[in-house]
Amino acid sequence: MTLDAGSGADRSFLFVLGSSRSGGNSEILAREAAAHLPAGVPRRWVDLNRLALPDFQDGRHETAGHRAGEVEEELLRATVEATDVVIVSPLYWYTLSAQTKRYLDYWSGWLNVPGSDFKERMAGGTLWGVTAMADDEHAVADGLTTALHHSAAYLRMRFGGVLTGTASRPGRIRADERAMDRARTFFAGDAPLARFPHERPAGLTA
């Protein structure tokens, strides 16, 4: 796996590309947002479509311990070392791509890897999303947004929201001026602690 890294100290961004198309509209939008991060902030890019990562096999209740391969181990390391994880996935059938969902499924396994402390290490970090879709009504991406928000809530992460744009043909995202404008300040936005709908912020009473 090849990870492109920058330099810096306080925050580090991991961009997880989940499209079946290299250089797709979601990636273009994410790279525009990344270009406006402060100088010195490390950023890494992982293209799931280029990784020899097998389908996730749930072995949580098996007696034999799971033996992670080299690619999985490096992906786990990159994930827990980042302060900010950015899921970059086109909207496929109103949700995440298969590649992206497989990556998130691996999170389930990493929760149970002895010594990984995955949940503890992810807590307090920030999860973001970037997606491009063919529809002008971005509410159709609510399912994708909910999946990422609830994943962040389970791990006690912050959630920075989802940067959305409209495009279908390759490169057309650049014509969505509102999306490109939003990208320039996306990572400067507020990222509150994610909470499930049934949870109340501390200090609030009925």
d(CA 42, CA 176): 27
d(CA 35, CA 49): 23
Nearest to 194 by CA among 144, 166, 153: 153
d(CA 26, CA 22): 10
Farthest CA pair distance, the chain: 54
The residue ranking higher by pLDDT, 31 or 4, is 31
pLDDT in tens, 55-112: 677 666 554 555 677 888 999 999 999 999 999 999 999 999 999 999 999 999 999 8
pLDDT in tens, 150-159: 999 999 999 9
pLDDT in tens, 157-199: 999 999 999 998 999 999 999 999 999 999 998 999 999 998 8
